[in-house]
Amino acid sequence: MAHSISHTATMTGRYVIQIYPNSTSVTGNYYVRILPKFNEPGAKWDPTTMEPNNSIYNAYQIGIGLNNSFTSAIQWRNPEYYTSSVDQDWYRFYASAGRTYTIQLYNVANILAGGDGVYLTVFDPLMDQIDNKVANGNGNIHSYSVITAGQSGWYYLRVKPDSTTVAGSYRLRILPKYNEPGAAWDSSLESNDHWTNAYPINLGVGNALPTSSYLRDPSFYTIRADTDYFHFPVVQGGVYLVEILNVADTLKDENWGYCNSSFNLIVYDPNMNEVAKDCVGDIEATVYRSITFTAGATGTHYARILSTDQSKYGNYTIRVTRTN
Ligand SMILES: [Ca+2]
Ligand SMILES: [Ca+2]
Ligand SMILES: [Ca+2]
């Protein structure tokens, strides 16, 4: 696309568009089109590419939840055409006041690399920008944003690479908070890469949960190793034991005296303040990491596993028990 203008008609009647080049000596073909706003009669998109979606007024509607995730792409700029910038994609989703949404831009093709990465920018129903994130994800997630809707209405997303010459595919999904309608996880308990998407674990030895930290796909533009969050209820005064056991050798990490360079188990309180962290242990032991804590207040607590080594992955089991 070379140029675009958005205009709201203040009166009914005939409008005139004039097109002329900024040169007296050029000739050539061009296309022109006039598109209605997304919610006005005649609004339409290509069902495969979701184009044209290059402005907030042409934002393509997407659904909430794991099952509504979809693939799209930053288009190639055809060198036969006079273009002015890289493709950008706008989407909109309907948010309910008070609910929390985790927006993930993931499986981003490596060929979209350039500059800082691929930006994920969020706008509220007044079309004011409320968040802008790039290359902040874990696992196969490239960029993500977490928002709590201040009001019910359409929220908008823009996907835009930080390079004017790249093109390639990506996926997008909007996940409800773990305890809100539509929350779901796949058979690998993903996506659980943020506390807002923590997977529920029940207390007790019998509820030990086998899972894994997955190997990132090298065809995707990724930033960090996978991380996993779990949530569980506690009562004030209860003593709880969180354990990570049966850890695959590919996930184990020698501790060199810095927690930032190894496999971490972290427990957080309901306000996401860190309660305790364990990053040291016998590499041969069945229980590789463990934390005991006394709950200061009744409410949801979170356990997180995190490998800060970018190459680690593999199976492990988590279990949480009350010991008093
Ligand atoms: Ca596109
Ligand atoms: Ca587009
Ligand atoms: Ca994860």
Question: pLDDT by residue (tens digit) across 174-210?
Answer: 999 999 999 999 999 999 999 999 999 999 999 999 9
What's the pLDDT at 252? Answer: 87
Average pLDDT, the chain: 95
What ligand is nearest to the CA atom of residue 199? Answer: 3
Whether 239 and 292 have beta carbons less than 8 Å apart is answered as: yes
Of 27-41, 63-77, 146-160, 244-258, minimum mean pLDDT range: 244-258
Q: How many CB atoms lie within 10 A of CB 244?
A: 22
Close Cβ partners of 209 (under 8 Å, ≥ 6 residues apart): 189, 199, 201, 230, 317, 318, 319
Beta strand pairing status for 100-106 and 60-61? unpaired
Q: Please state the pTM of the whole predicted model.
A: 0.94
Q: All domains of the chain, ordered by start, with CATH?
A: 1-184 (2.60.120.380), 195-322 (2.60.120.380)
79 has pLDDT over 80: yes
Q: State what percent of residues in the chain have pLDDT above 90.
A: 90
Nearest listed ligand to the Cα of residue 213 = 3
Residue 262 has pLDDT above 90, yes or no: no
Q: Output the CA 187–ligand 2 centroid distance in Å.
A: 32
Beta pairing, strands 118-123 & 153-161: antiparallel
Q: How far is the CA of 147 from the centre of ligand 2 (A)?
A: 23
Which DSSP category does 109 fall into?
A: B
C-alpha 120 chain-centroid distance = 9
Q: Two tokens at 315?
A: 């199976």
Residue 212: its H or E element = strand 209-213
Q: How far is the CA of 163 from the centre of ligand 1 (A)?
A: 14
